[in-house]
Amino acid sequence: MFIEYKAKLLGVEVAYVDPAYTSQSCSGCGHIGKRDKKSFNCSECGHVDHAESNAGFNIAMRLCIDQLHTDRDVCKGSTDTPKPAMA
Ligand SMILES: [Zn+2]
């Protein structure tokens, strides 16, 4: 509710995404990988990322799929080369 309120003040759209497995799925290939505290490792494609960053990409991609908002910047971008996150 508070996020909706703050977003509305700033004219930012709020979207809802099913959070299931967002922190365990690989943002590169979709495989269920291994999360160990702040790091994520995918045994399938070798993708290594900060766990929160990996989950964020998954949420963003679900947003594209769920709402078919192909005009969103994130839907046009690539998740192949995420920048290293600060620990
Ligand atoms: Zn992977």
Per-residue pLDDT tens digits for 20-62:
999 999 999 999 999 999 999 999 999 999 999 999 999 988 8
Residue 51 maps to a domain = yes
Segments forming the whole domain that contains residue 60: 15-75
Residue 3, token pair as written in the block? 């996020």
Q: Ligand 1 is a single-atom ion; what residues have CB below 5 A from it?
A: 26, 28-29, 31, 42, 44-45, 47
Number of domains making up the chain: 1
Stated pTM of the model: 0.67
Q: Residue 80: inside a domain, yes or no?
A: no
Name the DSSP letter for residue 58: H
Residue 4 placed within a domain: no
Dihedral of the alpha carbons of 16, 21, 26, 27, in degrees to the nearest 10: 0
**Ligand 1: distance of its center to the CA of 58 in Å?**
12
Give 17 Cα–ligand 1 centroid separation in angstroms: 21
Angstrom CA distances, 71 to 14, 31, 45, 65, stand at 16, 26, 28, 12
Residue 9: inside a domain: no
Answer yes or no: is 70 within a domain: yes
